[in-house]
C-alpha cells in the first residue's frame, strides 16, 4: 500500500512568531511518541490540508524529517473557529510492532428495507468505533451494511460487527450503530381522533358564543 508522506522541517519559531509562519503558507505542528522527544515541526499548509481532507482519523501519515520517516497518527487538530483552516496539528509517532488504540469512522452502506416498505425512520447511533491493533492492521473505515434492517425495531449493534481477528473492538458491544424506528406518519394518524375531538369541541363553543351575542 502506498504511503501518505508529508515532508517536515524542524521548527524553532514559537509563541506569537508562529503567526508569521502561517502567513507564509506554513503549518506549525508537533511530533511526539515512540522513541522521539516532543519535536516542533513545520509543514506546508496547502499540501497538508489536501492530504488530510481525503484521510480518516485512523489513516497512517508518514512524517519525513531530517532524512528519517516516522509512521504517525494525527491525534489533535486545531482549527480557526470561523475560517476552519488548520492552525496546529499533533502527530503521534507509533511503533509498527506495538498495538495502539484508535477510533475508526463508521460508514453506512446499502439501504434499509424497513424504511421503504414500512415508512420507518433510520436512526444512526455511533459514528466511530474504538479498536486496538497494530498500526499496519488499522482499518481506515468500518463499512456497515444496513440492508438487514427489514422491520421497524430492527437494530445493528457493535456486537454484530465482524472485523479481522487481529483488530480488537474496545467499544461497548451493546451500543447501537443504526436502527429502524416507527415513522412519524403513524404517530400522527393515531393522534388524529383526539385532535378531531378537540376541534369539534372548539367549534361547538364558538357557536354558543356567537348565539350569545345575537
Whether 172 and 199 map to the same domain: the answer is: no
Task: Using alpha carbons, select from 82, 91, 88 the residue that is nearest to residue 22.
Answer: 88
pTM above 0.85, yes or no: no
Q: How many CB atoms lie within 10 A of CB 100?
A: 16
Residue with cell 425495531: 153
Mean pLDDT of 34-50: 96
Whether 53 and 117 map to the same domain: the answer is: no
Q: How far apart are CA 148 and CA 174, in angstroms?
A: 17
Q: How far apart are CA 104 and CA 164, in angstroms?
A: 14
Whether 212 and 199 map to the same domain: the answer is: yes
> Does 187 score more than 70 pLDDT?
no
The end-to-end CA distance of the chain, in Å, is 88
Whether 135 and 154 map to the same domain: the answer is: yes
Domain residue limits at 193? 184-214
Mind listing the pLDDT tens digit for each residue in 151-174? 999 999 999 999 998 999 999 999
Q: Contact, 69 vs 107, CB < 8 A?
A: no
Collapsing DSSP to helix, strand or coil, 187 comes out as helix
Amino acid at each position: 500500500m502506498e504511503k501518505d508522506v508529508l515532508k517536515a522541517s524542524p521548527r524553532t519559531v514559537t509563541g506569537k512568531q508562529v503567526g508569521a509562519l502561517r502567513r507564509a503558507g506554513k503549518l506549525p505542528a508537533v511530533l511526539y511518541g515512540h522513541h522521539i522527544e516532543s519535536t516542533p515541526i513545520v509543514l506546508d499548509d496547502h499540501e497538508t490540508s489536501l492530504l488530510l481532507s481525503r484521510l480518516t482519523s485512523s489513516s497512517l501519515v508518514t512524517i519525513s524529517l531530517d532524512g528519517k520517516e516516522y509512521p504517525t497518527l494525527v491525534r489533535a487538530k486545531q482549527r480557526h473557529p470561523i475560517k476552519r483552516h488548520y492552525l496546529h496539528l499533533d502527530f503521534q509517532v507509533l511503533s509498527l510492532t506495538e498495538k495502539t488504540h484508535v477510533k475508526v469512522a463508521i460508514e453506512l452502506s446499502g439501504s434499509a428495507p424497513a424504511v421503504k416498505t414500512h415508512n420507518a425512520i433510520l436512526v444512526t447511533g455511533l459514528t466511530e468505533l474504538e479498536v486496538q491493533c497494530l498500526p499496519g492492521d488499522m482499518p481506515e473505515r468500518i463499512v456497515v451494511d444496513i440492508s438487514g434492517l427489514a422491520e421497524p425495531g430492527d437494530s445493528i449493534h457493535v456486537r454484530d460487527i465482524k472485523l479481522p481477528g487481529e483488530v480488537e473492538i474496545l467499544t461497548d458491544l451493546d451500543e447501537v450503530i443504526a436502527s429502524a424506528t416507527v415513522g412519524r406518519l403513524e404517530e400522527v394518524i393515531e393522534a388524529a381522533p383526539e385532535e378531531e375531538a378537540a376541534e369539534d369541541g372548539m367549534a361547538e363553543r364558538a357557536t354558543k358564543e356567537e348565539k350569545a351575542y345575537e
